[in-house]
Amino acid sequence: MIVYTIGWLILSLFYYVTTLQLVFYPGTQPYHQTGFRFNNTAWVVTTQDPSERYLTYGPYTKDWNTLAPSRVDFYLGVDNNIADPLDLLTVEVNDADMNYILTSRNISRLDFGYDKIQPQIFSLYFLSTIGHRLEFRVFYHCCSEIVHYKTIVNELDDGKLADIFAGQAGLE
């Protein structure tokens, strides 16, 4: 039992030390073109708010200092997931120093598995340059109430499976 516990502790410390992760809460950030704060840490846009604007963008972080394949998870919710197949959002990772979109994906109403603004994860995979400012953007096209709860960026394990997903959009 002691050997098992020590082994688990060592593996946990190794994972903690070698894995990079950033978490952003859009309601605590100043980067918005439409919408308003929701439940202190989230950001929401309604059909009455201006469309074709960034729900969230930024944070222009240089803290992502890895060359390993990476994944960003956008936690988003929608009010209605069955009305029509319109594209409601575009999520993207942008290298602000190069003014270059590393990866992006359009999200339609039908891509949401839940309604009533329940959070759902939409993922993008990317490679970045150390020292460049990154922003993780959610562009609001129109026609729905959308909540952006949080954004989490994770370093992948740099194995062969990570290479398959690098630069690809994904849905979890």
pLDDT range class, residue 158, cuts 50, 70, 90:
low
pLDDT greater than 80 at residue 78: yes
Cβ burial, residue 44 (10 Å; 0-12/13-18/19+): buried
Hey, which residues does 78 pair with through a beta bridge?
146
pLDDT, tens digit, for every residue of 110-140?
999 999 999 999 999 999 999 999 999 999 9
CATH number of the structural domain 21-171:
2.60.120.260
Q: Where are the domains of the chain?
A: 21-171
- Residue 5's CB: how many other CB atoms inside 10 A? 9
What confidence tier does 14 reach under pLDDT thresholds 50, 70, 90? very low
**Residue 162 pLDDT > 90, yes or no?**
no
Provide the pLDDT confidence category of residue 163 given band limits of 50, 70 and 90. low
Mean of the per-residue pLDDT values of the chain: 87
